[in-house]
A and B are shown apart, each in its own frame.
Chain A
Amino acid sequence: MKQKFLKIIFLLCLGCQTDASVWNDPHDSYKMKTDTLFSSFSIPPKRLDPVISYNENEWAIIGQIYEPPLQYHYLKRPYTLEALTLDKMPTIRYLDKNGIEVEEYSDEVTYSEYRLDLRDDVRYQNHPSFVKDSEGRLFYGDLSEDELEKIDTLDDFEKVASRNLLASDYAYAIKRMAVRQNHSPILDSMQTYIVGLKVFSETITNIAKEKKQDQQFLDLRPYDISGVKVVDDHTLTIKIEGRYPQFLYWLSMNFFAPIPWEADLFYQQKGLIAKNLTLNWFPVGTGAYYLAENNPNRQMRLLANPNYHEERYPVLDENEIEASSVPKELLKDAGEKLPLIKEVVYALEKESIPLWNKFLQGYYDASGISSEAFDQAVQISSTGNMGLSSEMKKKGIALKGLVQPAIFYLAFNMVDPVVGGYTEEAKKLRQAISIAQNQEEYISIFMNERGIAAQGVIPPGIFGYEEGEEGTNTVVYDWVGDKRVRKPLEEAKKLLAEAGYPNGRSEKTGKILKLHYDTTATGPDDRALMDWIRKQFDKLGIQLVIRATDYNRFQDKVRKGKVQLFSWGWNADYPDPENFLFLLYGGNASVDTNGAGINSSNYKNPEFDRLFDTMKTMKNSPERLKIIEKMMEIAREDAPWVWGIHPKSLALSHEWYTNVMPNAMANNTLKYKRIDATLRAEKQQEWNQPVMMPLIILALFLIILGLLLSRAYRNRQKMVIKGGEK
């Protein structure tokens, strides 16, 4: 009898396990079966205004919504710009001081004029700001208290409309950038390039102040920048001081995304601002997607823009495929109309463990690899090659890696009397330290092999980076056979002795050389790293004092040059060597520019600076490469940095998420990706069947416990009645 009962229970459990539907689905189960991408964000974006936003997590959203004139080709490598809202790439005319056209490399070049010819089929997303009355005024431009009461979200507006993109929208965006109150991070650098922007900025900032005091809207249409001309509805010219070929890269950034005047005025209404309905939180763009829901504390949702212009998945010829090493499976959708995914849901996931588990359950389509999950996801072979673990392979997960266009380095403060300076002794001290810092060991211990040792300032993928012997930093490495080998420690000790510190002691005073390293790594988790850094200096007999401080104080000390050694990093804005080499340009020295300069090690070498001035306006060519090689040779010899590492990012994606090609420069890549929702739904069912046995055991346990307690209670009651209770 007892055996029969157990058998029935077991069969029941088995039945439940195979037939039950999925219980742990965190998303809308209907959406799971549609072309919807499920992704996450760990830090909510602070702002979504293209004129201010400069963070990666903000660009990941607005990159899909706004369209600057240019974009990076999704598949071509090295990174290549192409027209996005333009008919063709901008045409550039070079002008002398009188405005007469001259040759590109003529000494008389005073201005460059960029002509942007816009496509005529680009339309904005539907939005209430575009609704106008019969006289052309904004229908929702002056909302009354009563009307505002009924509005909590943009969906509460009954009418929406759209209109074509105009050249004046790009001009309007540049004017918005000039308004100081908008805090555009690139205003100060753009003022040195765009003709008339500085004067315009001063004027418009004062006007904005007055308008604010008078509680009036600021309409930028009546004001003009002398260097920005709207030729007609589809043509815009921007005049630049001198030659600045990198301006094209800026034209691919969201700072230059169009802003319709209607949206700017619509969102200036106080009643809407009080409801968090602002341009900062509800963008209005022409991109492949529009923001349908914005709750940065929970979820952000993008929907395909029904007004999106004609754009197709890139088609490459055989030569281009070979040159860019594009895998065949990335070309299956060549020629397909974009976007391929109709909806994107970003959910807030602050902790990495739930995010990782949901990815494994198939509820997120892609994931990064946190340090906690690294061993589960990745296997490193004895030869150092990285591959997926068998568990990941079994699930059909793909691994994509990319060396980031970024560098993390250990900087010497060149104005410091001990580690700075340009004497032979100072150089040798820095070179000795550079050799002793074993970056390969650091990458292995602290980065799970997710990085490569830097040979100079320029990372892979950027013009000027060289592989092999040509790209080797001969101050720190020897080229042996066909690989780089770090110089032996004896070499470093020899250099240290020549620098006046034999065995780490000063020849003059006999004291141990004591250096100070400033860091923000103050937590207990950072202790191992600090011990490792200390050990690198200890190898040379140098005593390293670690000065841990908070980020504010740390930044302040670096700006004022009150540090000796510190770690810092840089991420590329655009794929040009100028964007890295300017980190060592003397004119950008932090202490000389009241902290505004980007050269935080305060390195100044006249020859390097001269070469930089020549190189920065050149197009990529063998001549430019020669200059860069020369600059790198100078910098390696002076060793203002221990060159550190170029980090490698790893990403995992499920087999139903395709067309994934890492692109470190482009922000608008969602439109190219595809989801196989049927396969996803099947896999989710397979991986997430509820296990019923524990539930039944728990229920049985509670029943038995209840019975026992009931019996015990009755006994207790009897005992009280009998007078046994005290």
Chain B
Amino acid sequence: MFAYIIRRILYAIPILIGVNLITFMLFFMVNTPDDMARAQLGAKQVTPELIASWKEEKGYDKPLFINTEAEGISKITETLFVQESAKLFSFDFGFSDSNRDIGSDIKERMFPSLAIALPTFMIALITNISLALLLVLFRGSVLDTSMMVIAVMIMSVSGLFYIIAGQVLFSKMWHWVPISGYESGWEGIKFIVLPVIIGVFAGMGSGVRWYRSIFLEQINQDYVRTARAKGLSELKVLFGHVLRNGMLPILTGVVVIIPSLFMGSLIMESFFGIPGLGSYTIDAINSQDFAIVKAMVFLGSVLYIVGLILTDISYTLFDPRVKLS
């Protein structure tokens, strides 16, 4: 398994270079270094001299891919692409265009994102699986049919509606929790209750339907009949056997998400005033801050690759027949 992981990590290097190259090309196709300077320096009194000094200071005065004025290997290394990309692989994200250390910012913003994303993920997983198993237990009944209709209805409504409706009901009308805000530690629980409930509820429709279809494939298998024949209760059959055998497809969809939980959610964080990573990239794109954009895209790619490797490893834990080689 160790060799497999090493191989996957080595595969990741060209993928990350490719992602970085695409990000670089897309960004500079839309924004020139002059545009970036103007976005940073404001709308007033921006002279060509000021733009030139900003570009020089930030290193954006270099050519993008080939430095014709340099000699030898410097033709490639003394370029914006190489200079901007090289440090990323040592996870040195450098400074944003507003002179903030990006690494420090990511560390600081990661925890508020996790404070919402992790409980939402865990509670949603448990709730959706339990509800799906319940529906499988009562399959074909009025409860099953009506829950499926409700699930489709939940899926059909935009997540933004749940956020606004939740804020109006729970905060504005009933005054149960603050509308938005964030506090670290135990003090912060009152701020995360509502976003977590909304996050869980908004994802319930698709989650329950998906898990239900997985468990329905298992429920008529011979091993279920055997378990019942042994005299096991329906709860034990469902949670002890059906759930365990349905884990493989669940893991495929779930484990890969875990590392990306760090990246947060844009809409949820904006509406609830959570100082997380959700809006970090979008804000950077809007302010044409390439240093943040490239760092976040790189980090997102790394986390996705880590998620895929974790998924593969998790298969071996739940299914002894799977071997990584």
Contact = CB atoms under 8 A, between A and B. Distances in A.
12 contacts: A22-B175, A183-B41, A183-B54, A187-B50, A297-B275, A348-B275, A350-B273, A350-B279, A351-B180, A353-B167, A712-B138, A720-B228
Contacts of A360: 172
Chain B interface size band reads: 35 or more
Chain A interface size band reads: 35 or more
A361 B101 CA distance: 37
Interface in A684-726: 688-691, 694-695, 709, 712-713, 716-717, 720, 725
Contact of A716 (B30, B44, B138): B138
Given A275-B101, A347-B273, A353-B167, A298 B30 contact: no
B45 A186 contact: yes
B76 to A, nearest CB: 23
A295 B42 CA distance: 22
Interface in A538-572: 550, 552, 555-556
Interface centre among B47, B54, B270 (most CB of A within 10 A): B47
A691 B174 contact: yes
Interface stretch (A23-31, A496-504, A615-623): A23-31
Prevailing SS type, chain B contact patch: helix
B262 interface: no
Contacts of B228: 720, 725
Contacts of A278: 99
Interface of A: 22-27, 46-47, 54-55, 180-181, 183, 185-189, 205, 273-276, 278, 280-281, 295, 297-298, 347-351, 353-354, 357-358, 360-361, 363, 550, 552, 555-556, 573, 594-596, 688-691, 694-695, 709, 712-713, 716-717, 720, 725
A29 B78 CA distance: 55
Nearest to B272: A354
Contact of B143 (A357, A363, A573, A712): A712
Given A185-B45, A274-B101, A354 B174 contact: no
Contacts of B182: 298
Contacts of B49: 180, 188
B137 interface: yes
A398 B30 CA distance: 45
A279 to B, nearest CB: 10
Interface in B268-294: 270-273, 275, 279, 287-288
Contacts of B53: 180-181, 183, 205
A523 to B, nearest CB: 13
Contacts of A350: 270-271, 273, 279
Given A297-B109, A347-B273, A716-B234, A185 B50 contact: yes
B273 A349 contact: yes
A713 B141 CA distance: 12
Nearest to A297: B275
Contacts of B249: none
B239 interface: no
Given A54-B44, A295-B275, A297-B275, A552 B100 contact: no
Contacts of B174: 690-691, 694-695
Contacts of A595: 48
Contacts of B181: 26-27, 347
B171 A357 contact: yes
A555 B180 CA distance: 37
Interface stretch (B31-39, B83-91, B114-122): B31-39
Contact of A24 (B44, B47, B177): B177
B275 A353 contact: no
A596 B275 contact: no
B179 interface: yes
Nearest to B181: A26
B101 A691 contact: no
Given A183-B53, A297-B275, A552-B31, A690 B176 contact: yes
B108 interface: yes
A709 B190 CA distance: 31
A683 B176 CA distance: 17
A358 to B, nearest CB: 6
A712 B141 CA distance: 11
| Closest CB pairs A-B (n = 7) | A298-B275, A26-B178, A26-B181, A552-B35, A354-B180, A297-B275, A46-B98
Interface string B71-115: 000000000000000000000000000111100110011001000
A26 B191 contact: yes
B27 to A, nearest CB: 12
A275 B180 contact: no
A25 B187 CA distance: 11
B301 interface: no
B175 A47 contact: no
A24 B42 contact: no
